[in-house]
Structure 1
Amino acid sequence: MKYVVCYSGGHSSALAAVETVIRHGRKDTILLNHDISSKVEDEDVKRFKTELADYLEVPIVYANRESFGTDTPLSLCRQMGRIRFKAGNSICTYYLKTEPFYRWLKENYPVGCREISDKITLVYGFDASERQRIARRQKHLLSKGYLSEYPLADKGNRLKISDIREMGIRLPETYGVARHANCKGCLKAGKQHWYMVYCLWPDIFREAVWTEEILGYKIIRGYFLRELEPMFACMKEEGIMPGDSECSAVFWARVRHVLGIRYNVTGKEE
């Protein structure tokens, strides 16, 4: 049995990779990653993925979109003419991750109709606080013919490693301002993340505004990014530090306090 870790470059999937190697051994562990353009995936995330894989002595296996080097989330949206599918799923997630993932499974570990693979188990970095997410993923994967494991949710059988830094490996620099290692300009994120994009990656913010104008679709439900620009500009002028690692309610309470009555959290002047 091979254990395929869905190796995203984030801290949780890194911990899942360590646990998998300890439980099942290097020879039976596969680190499966979907490489993404360095325009949106920080180079230090790529460094982190490679450094941990080298430490574990397990090579990274890639399941990539053919044009991943040039196709960014925003360029894909323009190609497809929308931001997300009708069901609410993001265009970028499907074309950069989901589609290459199932193509890789079909090519390397195919299963017949109503069969369950006895050759691989898929491993995810979901933890004990994500029981509903785990249940949904298990059900979905079983319908596709694959078993799955969630070692971070199995508290009774885990080692004491809770932070990759205990192994002498630096986390990606993005964790200094964010809770995750997602793309710069995540299409599933909210105002707090997009304020960070506005401040730290203005070229991506301008491209996002332009993309919304071309398509007529909103990235953040309820309003266009250009409607938030005046508030973002005022926040930046007042010295509000960008980042989405802080609790959203606390962050926006601080924004309201600093800006007074000038703007509410929707970006509209009061």
Structure 2
Amino acid sequence: MKKKHLICFSGGHASAIVSIYCVEMFGKDNVILLNHDINPKYEAEDIKRFKKEVADYLGLPITYANINYVSDPNLIPSQFEVCIKANAITDFRTSQALCTNRLKTAPFLQYLEYNFPTYDTLFETQKDCILYYGFDDTEKDRIQRRSSIMGGVGYKTAFPIAFENLRITDTNQIGIAPPITYRTFIHANCIGCLKAGLLHWYVTYVLRPDVYNEGIDMENQVDFTIHRITRNKVAQSISLSELAPIFKQMKADGV
């Protein structure tokens, strides 16, 4: 069996570049674009456009590994709903954001175990795929952590942007505009990302007050706050409710 080259195809620009590289290197028949779909209310429409255009350019389908095998993206729970259901924001076992664990990590591992189970050779246990990530050479800690975690369960990892000389470094080179989301946010995560900082949430407050209010409701139900700030050299929690009047004034001031 040929080894499959599985791209963690997030919908961000970096994972698209990795996908193009892998198809050029190994052929499209040996490449899988694996995505965890997000409810369209919380994933920018242009991210979905970008994913489709890149996949169409490569002549590959997008393979989805969604929570509870849900196929209709409109039925995928939001980051807030999974936290309310679990009555927590962080997975106490891994310290990982609960939304990431439920919506991405757990379905990812389920997909791998079902499609690329362990087989025993005379000398070692191996997997039939290599996992590719879009981390660059400024993210050495993330690279080390991800390669260690996945290596611990038997998977090889690769980070072409960090370590390879790529022919394509910008999707504009192939006529595909990067997501316009990057004009507003620095990442392609959910709108109302529970791992994001104050700037992300200020933009959410201004552009998506409906999502901001869902965040307030989630914090109230779970009785936990997303953010910490430092006051008089002491780290303190600050809720989205407390931030709202500050953000309101910032908006009024034209920030």
Asked if TM exceeds 0.5, the reply is yes
Q: What are the equivalent positions in structure 2 for 1:81-100 lying under 5 Å apart?
A: 81-86=87-92, 87-100=94-107
Q: How far apart in 2 are the matches of 1:188 and 1:17?
A: 25
Deviation of residue 70 (structure 1)? Answer: 3.6
Provide, for residues 144-169 of structure 1, a one-character-per-residue CA deviation record: whole Å limited to 9, x for no partner: 111111100114x322x221112111
Q: How far apart in 2 are the matches of 1:33 and 1:214?
A: 30
Q: Where does residue 233 of structure 2 map in the other structure? A: none
Give the conservation status (yes or no) of the 8 Å contact 1:7–1:31. Answer: yes
Equivalent AA in structure 1 for residue 253 of structure 2: E
Give the conservation status (yes or no) of the 8 Å contact 1:124–1:150. Answer: yes
Structure 1: gaps of 5 or more residues: 241-270
Give the conservation status (yes or no) of the 8 Å contact 1:116–1:142. Answer: no
Provide, for residues 16-49 of structure 1, a one-character-per-residue CA deviation record: whole Å limited to 9, x for no partner: 1111111111111110111111111112111110
Deviation of residue 135 (structure 1)? Answer: 1.2
Q: Where does residue 135 of structure 1 map in the other structure? A: 144
Structure 2: gaps of 5 or more residues: 229-236
Provide, for residues 219-263 of structure 1, a one-character-per-residue CA deviation record: whole Å limited to 9, x for no partner: 1132111111111000000111xxxxxxxxxxxxxxxxxxxxxxx
TM-score (norm. length: structure 1): 0.84
Q: Where does residue 237 of structure 1 map in the other structure? A: 252
Equivalent AA in structure 1 for residue 66 of structure 2: N
Q: Where does residue 81 of structure 2 map in the other structure? A: 75
Give the conservation status (yes or no) of the 8 Å contact 2:67–2:76. Answer: no
Give the 3-state SS of the residue equivalent to 1:61 in structure 2: strand
Q: How far apart in 1 are the matches of 2:91 and 2:239?
A: 18
Q: Where does residue 158 of structure 1 map in the other structure? A: 166
Give the conservation status (yes or no) of the 8 Å contact 2:9–2:34. Answer: yes
Choose which of 6, 9, 32 in structure 2 pairs with 1:7.
9
Q: Where does residue 39 of structure 1 map in the other structure? A: 41
Choose which of 190, 200, 214 in structure 2 pairs with 1:193.
200
Equivalent AA in structure 1 for residue 129 of structure 2: I
Q: Where does residue 61 of structure 1 map in the other structure? A: 63
Equivalent AA in structure 2 for residue 150 of structure 1: F
Q: How far apart in 2 are the matches of 1:158 and 1:214?
A: 47
Deviation of residue 112 (structure 1)? Answer: 5.0
Q: Once superposed, what is the RMSD of the aligned Cα atoms?
A: 1.4
Deviation of residue 116 (structure 1)? Answer: 2.2
Choose which of 18, 25, 40 in structure 1 pairs with 2:27.
25
Give the conservation status (yes or no) of the 8 Å contact 1:3–1:122. Answer: yes
Provide, for residues 29-81 of structure 1, a one-character-per-residue CA deviation record: whole Å limited to 9, x for no partner: 11011111111111211111011000011111111113462400001111010
Q: Where does residue 225 of structure 1 map in the other structure? A: 240
Report whether the alignment pairs 1:173 with 2:183: no
Q: More strand by proportion, 1 or 2?
A: 2
Report sequence identity in percent.
41
Q: How far apart in 2 are the matches of 1:191 and 1:109?
A: 39
Provide, for residues 3-22 of structure 1, a one-character-per-residue CA deviation record: whole Å limited to 9, x for no partner: 00000000110111111111
Equivalent AA in structure 1 for residue 250 of structure 2: M
Deviation of residue 171 (structure 1)? Answer: 1.5
Give the 3-state SS of the residue equivalent to 1:138 in structure 2: helix
Q: How far apart in 1 are the matches of 2:27 and 2:76?
A: 36
Deviation of residue 88 (structure 1)? Answer: 2.8
TM-score (norm. length: structure 2): 0.89
